[in-house]
Amino acid sequence: MSSGRSRFPGPDRFEYLQALVTEFQDTDSPDAKEQVLANLANFSYDPGNMEDLRRLQVTELFLDMLTEESENLVEFGMGGLCNLSADRACRDQILRSDGVALVTGCLSSRREETVLSAVGTLMNLSERVTDPAVLQCVLRFSLSSSVRLRNLARVFLQDRCAPAQVERAERELQGRTQTALGIPLPQDQPGDASLATGAEQSKAAGSV
Amino acid sequence: MAASDDSSSWNTLEVHKHHEQRTVCHTRPKYREGRRPKAVKVYTINLESRFLLVQGVPAIGLMAELVQLFALYGAIEEYRVLDEYPAEEFTEVYLIKFQKLQSARVAKRNLDERSFYGGLLHVCYAPENETVEDTRQKLQERKRFVARIMRNKARERDQTEVEKSKMPNGPEMAMCEKKEWKVTSQKEEESLSTSYFLSYPLLPPPPQEDVYRPSSFSEQTSPSSSSSSVLKGYQCKMQPAEDNMGSTYHFVDTGNEPLPSKVLKSPSHGNPAIINKQRKICHPTTRFIPRTTQLENRKRKMEEVCQDTLLGIADTSETLIGPRLPQQPKMDMEDASLNITANLIRNTMAKISSVPECKPAEKKATTPKPRRRI
């Protein structure tokens, strides 16, 4: 499944990844930052790299990206987390760093790719999702016009949620007690990223 | 968010953002550049799919060719042309569903940006064609795969750690093992070096006085074949197992034999026994044979010669020490009819004794063909 033969086997690979992380932290160029982040996120797909990336604390690096202004950085960081969270050790590291709240915030992203990665990551992070806000949000996704989001949301509801909870979320959705989670903010709204982090706490009725 | 109907996966023909080809990134530093120019993009399992969308196929009825090309990478479950999908002029868009995600992945990597009947293919994943079940399977497979790899890695690590922990406990043992390993490796090196040595054409052995050597003939005609045949003789000796298989034996002879037998047939045709004798003798010159074996062979030959003289079919080319008789001694039966019968018997014996030796010679004439290189 991975990229097959690795170009940098053994210690060389670790050093290469380390060099990438160092460049990411040191560089001033936003282009280079994006490229290196994308590289790291794609490297995360290969199980052969997961251990090295965990040792380099790349999970922290990705989580940091979720609160960035640049949508590209958020998307790539979220993609990296989606890839890495498939591994149990990486998953535990993300959980220890309170990743769930940060990832949940990304459900409100305007970018479909980011939202998909966030849903995928949440599925990897926990076997049972009980947060009613997340449940409602995913329930809304399951009615989305986007087939990919709809399919993923349905798998999420069927495999990760108790049926009783889904029913309650459905009732809530029809009633007035909705959450704003997962509803992207309008384009002109400033401070989108900072709001997104605390989105799951905002229980206010959706005004969109 | 608008609710939507449950449309079949094959009906969705919207143009998705991930179908677009992103602009290639040219600002990468050298050391981060891959083999092919690529855009900055992150792939996750959500983006991958067994469904591939193929754009840029010239609209000249290439369905069969396209499917054949993609089938090289794995079994295709379904495929169809997307007539409604917005395509460039004179091109078609195809949707291909592989049986396995891995096939789709390899196919995409290899066929994206490939020129195809004058068009440039753009291949991308089309996960929006998946059903809920497809998506679930894909995610589960991914999770299982990662778990398996990590388990294997952990096992490997454990094994190496166990070996490491053993080392300080018994350093002498480790030393012994190391020594043994060194010895075996040396042996391996030796055998390697010999085989390495053998892989070069060896010089023909120095000429021997009293033995007929066909290699001198063949050397005149084709020096390379003779030297290689000599080499093969050595290899054959080194690997008796292959000899038993029969392949190497013929293998050896093919290069060596036809030439001398051709040369020899002219002076002494009609008497295959002579040729056989000569072949038998020529072997010791081309192969390395230990001294004891040579002695044994000589003894056996002497006995054979004795038998043959009794039967009256002694070899004329065999070097004999001492004065040569003008004619081979034949037992006189003191009766004309008896003598005729004895002659008949002698001739048949000569024929019979030559038959089993003759067979490989016949084979040799046929076997060289498949070995010939194009």
Residue B19 belongs to a domain with what CATH number? 3.30.70.330
pLDDT of A168 over the 80 cut = yes
CB A117 within 8 A of CB A104: no
Residue B137 corresponds to which tokens in the numbers above? 């399977």
pLDDT of A160 over the 60 cut = yes
What is the pLDDT, as a whole number, of residue B295?
82
Beta bridge partners of B122: B55
Distance from CA of A20 to the nearest CA of B (A): 9
- Same structural domain for residues B366 and B219? yes
Q: Which residue of chain B is at minimal alpha-carbon distance from A184?
A: B1
Chain A residues close to B128, C-beta within 8 Å? 146-148
Dump pLDDT digits (tens) for A34-83: 999 999 999 999 998 999 999 999 999 999 999 999 999 999 999 999 99
- Same structural domain for residues B230 and B366? yes
A170 touches chain B (CB under 8 A): no
| Domain-embedded: residue B347 | yes
Q: Which residue of chain A is at minimal alpha-carbon distance from B4?
A: A145
Chain B residues close to A158, C-beta within 8 Å? 132, 136
How do the pLDDT tens digits run along chain B, 374 residues long?
Answer: 333 333 344 444 567 777 777 777 777 777 777 666 677 889 999 999 999 999 999 999 999 999 999 999 999 999 999 988 888 889 999 999 999 999 999 999 999 999 999 999 999 999 999 999 999 999 999 999 999 998 988 888 888 888 877 665 544 444 444 444 444 444 444 444 444 444 455 555 555 555 444 444 444 444 444 444 444 444 444 444 444 444 444 444 444 444 444 444 444 444 545 444 444 444 444 556 677 777 888 888 887 776 655 565 545 555 556 655 555 556 677 788 888 888 888 888 888 877 655 454 444 445 555 565 66
- Same structural domain for residues B330 and B225? yes
Please tell me which of the candidates A1, A116, A145 has its beta carbon nearest to residue B145. Answer: A1
Contact state of B102 with A143 under an 8 Å Cβ cutoff:
no
| Domain-embedded: residue B326 | yes
- Same structural domain for residues B255 and B365? yes
Distance from CA of A191 to the nearest CA of B (A): 22
Contact state of A112 with B25 under an 8 Å Cβ cutoff:
no
Contact state of A35 with B32 under an 8 Å Cβ cutoff:
yes
Q: Which residue of chain A is at minimal alpha-carbon distance from B45?
A: A83
Cα A176 to Cα A94: distance, rounded to the nearest angstrom: 34
B4 touches chain A (CB under 8 A): yes
Single residue among B105, B130, B155 that ends a domain in this structure = B130
Distance from CA of B136 to the nearest CA of A (A): 6
Please tell me which of the candidates A47, A146, A154 has its beta carbon nearest to residue B150. Answer: A47
Chain A residues close to B129, C-beta within 8 Å? 147
Contact state of A140 with B1 under an 8 Å Cβ cutoff:
yes
| Domain-embedded: residue B4 | no
Contact state of A38 with B12 under an 8 Å Cβ cutoff:
no
Q: Which residue has the tokens 């679930």?
A: B136
Confidence category of residue A170, pLDDT binned at 50, 70, 90? confident
DSSP annotation of A7: S
Distance from CA of B93 to the nearest CA of A (A): 20
Q: Which residue of chain B is at minimal alpha-carbon distance from A17?
A: B32
Which of A75, A148, A150, A173 is best to mutate for the B interface (most B CBs within 10 A)? A148
A152 touches chain B (CB under 8 A): yes
Q: Which residues contact A165 (CB under 8 A, 6 or more apart)?
A: A130, A132, A135
Task: Enter the ipTM.
Answer: 0.80
Size of interface A-B (CB pairs under 8 A): 118
Chain A residues close to B44, C-beta within 8 Å? 45, 79, 82-83, 113, 116-117, 120
- Same structural domain for residues B21 and B121? yes
Contact state of B128 with A42 under an 8 Å Cβ cutoff:
no
Chain B (83-112) residues lying within 8 Å, Cβ to Cβ, of chain A: 101-102, 105
Cα B318 to Cα B263: distance, rounded to the nearest angstrom: 17
Helix (H) or strand (E) segment spanning residue A46? none
- Same structural domain for residues B126 and B219? no
Structural domain harbouring B359: 215-371
Q: Which residue of chain A is at minimal alpha-carbon distance from B136?
A: A155
Contact state of A75 with B102 under an 8 Å Cβ cutoff:
no
| Domain-embedded: residue B168 | no
B80 touches chain A (CB under 8 A): no
Q: How many domains does chain B have?
A: 2
The better pLDDT of the pair B195, A152 is held by A152
Chain A (91-110) residues lying within 8 Å, Cβ to Cβ, of chain B: none
Single residue among B130, B163, B194 that ends a domain in this structure = B130
What is the pLDDT, as a whole number, of residue A151?
94
Please tell me which of the candidates A1, A87, A143 has its beta carbon nearest to residue B4. Answer: A143
A24 touches chain B (CB under 8 A): no
CB B227 within 8 A of CB B204: yes
* Phi, psi (rounded to 5 degrees) for B53: -105, 125
| Domain-embedded: residue B154 | no
> What domains lie within chain A, and their CATH numbers?
9-106 (1.25.10.10), 127-183 (no CATH)
C-alpha angle with apex B296: B292 to B297, nearest 5 degrees?
Answer: 115
Contact state of A159 with B145 under an 8 Å Cβ cutoff:
no
| Domain-embedded: residue B176 | no
Torsion of CA B81, B85, B91, B97, to 10 degrees: -40
Residue B298 corresponds to which tokens in the numbers above? 């000589």
Dump pLDDT digits (tens) for A91-115: 999 999 999 999 999 999 999 999 9
Cα B230 to Cα A91: distance, rounded to the nearest angstrom: 66
| Domain-embedded: residue B238 | yes
Cα B98 to Cα B109: distance, rounded to the nearest angstrom: 14
Cα A120 to Cα A78: distance, rounded to the nearest angstrom: 10
- Same structural domain for residues B121 and B264? no
Average confidence score pLDDT of chain A:
83
Single residue among B104, B130, B156 that ends a domain in this structure = B130
Distances (CA, A) of A107 to A104, A189, A199: 5, 17, 9
Please tell me which of the candidates B42, B101, B149 has its beta carbon nearest to residue A38. Answer: B42
